[in-house]
Amino acid sequence: MIVSHAGRGWWDPTSDAKGDVFGLVQRLEPGLTFGHARKRLREFAGLSPSFPPADRAERRRGLDRPVAERWAERKAVRPNSPTWRYLARKRWLPPAIIEAASAAGVLREGPVSSAWFAHFDAEGAVAHVDVRGPTYKGSLAGGAKALFCLNALGPLRPRLVLAEAAIDALSVAVVESLREDTL
């Protein structure tokens, strides 16, 4: 193996292998990912990343707040908003379904065109929030998953639809034309 600073890299004359310092570490220890190679090089160079304490505290501040509090700060979905366009144009939900979910209080605007779907506990408090967006699928940290109910208010319903996620339940509501007998 030949390492050349002026040539800015390394190469192995017995094969076609060559590259930068990260590739060299991965060549010497084949099981390492790029992230692991970076960590190994930090140790070698005697460096480690540092962040001012204020940055860490500011970033974590939102995670320490209850899910219900974060939910309450979000606005209802409104026509032609980024979330509305995501649900209508990318997820193919018709306006009637988006409006029904928003009116039921289970759908809110999230950041970066994401849609927030609330799950309520037995007492009617927000217990969990699913998040779906063009580039993100997950949930808010700190919640306790419960059933997502599009129309939980009113009389008992004889039929239950079970779906993997809230957005999937809304898709079923589209196919079935928002049946009144279904929770």
- 3-class DSSP state of 161: coil
Environment class of 71 (CB within 10 Å of its CB; exposed 0-12, middle 13-18, buried 19+): buried
pTM over 0.85: no
Same-domain check for residues 27 and 105: no
- Does residue 101 belong to any structural domain of this protein? yes
Tally the domains of the chain. 2
- Does residue 50 belong to any structural domain of this protein? no
Q: Which residues contact residue 121 at a Cβ distance below 8 angstroms, ignoring those fewer than 6 apart? A: 127, 144, 146
Q: 13, 25 in Cβ contact below 8 A? A: no
Same-domain check for residues 71 and 103: yes
pLDDT in tens, the chain (183 residues): 666 656 667 777 788 888 888 888 888 888 889 888 888 888 777 766 666 665 555 555 556 789 999 999 999 999 999 999 999 999 999 999 999 999 989 999 999 999 999 998 888 899 999 999 999 999 999 888 888 887 766 677 788 888 888 888 898 988 988 888 877
Same-domain check for residues 80 and 20: no
Tell me the C-alpha to C-alpha distance, in Å, between residue 110 and each of 106, 114, 165. Answer: 12, 5, 16
